[in-house]
Amino acid sequence: MPRFQAPRGTRDLLPAERASLLHLERMALALATRYGYQPIETPLFEQAEVFERGVGQATEVVEKELFRVQAGRGDGDGERWALRPEPTAGICRAYVQHGMQTLPQPVRLTLTGPMFRYDRPQAGRYRQFWQFDVEAIGDPGPAVDAEIIELADRFLRDAGVGETELLLNSIGDAACRPDYVAELVGHYRSHAAELPPAERERLERNPLRLLDSKDPGMAAINATAPRSLDRLCDACAQHFAAVRAHLDALGVRYRLEHRLVRGLDYYTRTAFEFFPRGAEGQQDALGGGGRYDGLIELLGGRPTPGIGFGIGLDRVALALAARGAGGASVEGVPADPVAVVVGADPADTVTRLRIVTELRAAGLTARADLGQRKLARQMEAAARDGAHFAVIGGDELRSGQVIVKDLLAGTQRTVDLPELAHELQRAQAQHRHVPASE
C-alpha cells in the first residue's frame, strides 16, 4: 500500500471522473444562467461565526462537522476560521458586505464548488464534496419558491438521473413556529422513556430534528407527532398554498412530507428535498433547500427574505453511474482527441509538435505522439486514445502535405498542411463513424 494517500473521507477525481463532474458543473451554470441567476464565488473559508450564527450552534453541521482552521503563524489576532460546510451563509454574508440590498431585488446568484464537512465517510458522502447552489435573495413571494424548485427539478431531469421524488413541507415562521415547537417538545417529553439517548439529548437543543430521525426506535413516536402543516399561521398557510398552486401550474409533482425540516437553523416556511424514486434514506438525498427569511438579519443586514437550494453533484454522479450513464464528455471538450499527429521519422518530434500546435490553435482537440518510437507503435497508441483521425507525417512533408487516416473507417487521403485544420473540422462534422460496440 502506498505510504501517502488522500485523507480519509476524500478522494482523487481521476480524469474520467473530473470530466463527468465538470460536465455537471457546466450544465448547472448554463441552466442557472438561463433562469437569470448570476455566478458568484465566495472564499472556501469564512469566519467561523458566519456558520455558527447562520447555520446554528445546535446543528450537527456546527457541533460535529465543521472543519475549523488554525492559522499557521499563531498570530493571536483572535480570528476563528472554518471551511465552508454549505454555501448559503457565505453568499448571504457577501450580500450584506457588498451592499447588494441596493441592487434590484431579488438578487439571483449561483455557485458551484467544493464544500467541507467532517462527516462519517460512506457511499456518496465525502468530507470534501461538490454542490450546485442557487439563491434568490429579496423576494418574499411564493412564485420565486416555485421557480427555484422547478429549476432544481429540471437540472436533475436534464442530468439524466431518472425518476425523482420531490418532498415538500412548510415549517412556519417566527410567528407560528415557536408554539409548534413547544407542542412538539411536549409530545416528545411525554415519550421521554422511549427516546434513544442521542434523541433525548437532541430534544433539548434542536427538537425539530427529531422528526427526521433515522433511528428505528423513533418511527412510532414520530407517527403521532404534531404536524407543522396543521399549525401554520394564516400568512404561512396562504404562502404555502400559493407555492403549491404555482408548482401545480408548472406540472411539478411533489409529495407532502410533514417530517421534512432540513438540518439548518436558518430555514423558514418552504422546505423541500429531492430523492431518487423509491429511496428516501438520508444518504440517498440528491439535494434540497428552502426559505431563510431571517438569515440576512442574523448576519448583520436588514430583514431580507431569501430562498435557495443545494444539489450534491457527487450524489448526482453516483446516481448516473448506477444507471450506467456516467463518463459523459464535457460539453465542447470531447473525451477523446479528434486527431493524433504521428510521424514516420521517430526523431522528428519538432514537426509533430508544430502541426499539433496549429491544430489546437484552430480549436481542435489533438495530441501529438512525442515519443521517439516506430510509426506502428504511434498508430497503436492513437487507436487506443480513441482518436478519429491519425495525421501522418512522412515523405509527403517535403511537398507540404500529410496523410490523414480515418481510424474508424479505415480510409486515408493526402491533405495540404494549410488545409489540414479545415479538413479535419469538416470531416469530423460530417462523418461520425459509430463503433459496433455502440
Q: Can you give the CATH number for the domain in which 67 is found?
A: 3.30.930.10
Residues 271 and 401 in one domain: no
In degrees rounded to 5, what are phi and psi of residue 292? Answer: -140, 65
Residues 44 and 171 in one domain: yes
Residues 26 and 115 in one domain: yes
CA distance 126 to 138: 32
Residue with cell 427555484: 148
Number of other CB atoms surrounding residue 436 within 10 Å: 4
Cβ(115)–Cβ(33) under 8 Å?
A: no
Q: Kindly give the parts of the chain with pLDDT less than 50.
A: 58, 327-334, 433-438
Residues 46 and 127 in one domain: yes
Q: What is the CATH number of the domain that holds 378?
A: 3.40.50.800
Whether 248 is covered by a domain: the verdict is yes
Q: What is the CA radius of gyration of the chain?
A: 27
Residue with cell 412556519: 172
Whether 436 is covered by a domain: the verdict is no
Residues 154 and 265 in one domain: yes
HEC string of 61-109? HHHCCCCEECCCCCCCCCCCEEECCCCHHHHHHHHHHCCHHHCCCCEEE
How many domains would you assign to the chain? Answer: 2
Whether 328 is covered by a domain: the verdict is no
pLDDT at position 195: 84
pLDDT at position 123: 64
Q: Which are the contacts of 421, defined by CB distance < 8 A and separation ≥ 6?
A: 358, 359, 362, 364
Q: Is 122 exposed, middle or buried (0-12, 13-18, 19+ CB in 10 A)?
A: exposed
Whether 91 is covered by a domain: the verdict is yes
All three cell numbers of 277, joined, read 424514486
pTM: predicted TM-score of the whole model, two decimal places: 0.82
Residues 287 and 406 in one domain: no
Per residue in 146-169, pLDDT (tens digit) is 999 999 999 999 999 888 999 999
Residues 294 and 168 in one domain: yes
CA distance 269 to 302: 19
pLDDT at position 165: 94
Question: Domain limits at 408?
Answer: 339-430
In degrees rounded to 5, what are phi and psi of residue 152? Answer: -60, -45
Q: Which are the contacts of 314, defined by CB distance < 8 A and separation ≥ 6?
A: 21, 124, 126, 129, 130
Residues 365 and 253 in one domain: no
Residues 391 and 307 in one domain: no
Whether 183 is covered by a domain: the verdict is no
Of 293, 322, 351, the one marking the end of a domain is 322
Q: Collapsing DSSP states into helix, strand and coil, what is residue 379?
A: helix
Per residue in 368-407, pLDDT (tens digit) is 998 889 999 999 999 998 899 999 999 999 999 999 999 9
CA distance 177 to 293: 13
Residues 292 and 352 in one domain: no
pLDDT at position 434: 36
Of 269, 294, 322, the one marking the end of a domain is 322
Residues 97 and 244 in one domain: yes
Question: Which residues, in sequence order, are bridge partners of residue 274?
Answer: 166, 287
Pairing, β 411-416 against β 306-312: unpaired
Residues 355 and 259 in one domain: no
Whether 65 is covered by a domain: the verdict is yes
Of 322, 356, 390, the one marking the end of a domain is 322
Whether 199 is covered by a domain: the verdict is no
Whether 409 is covered by a domain: the verdict is yes
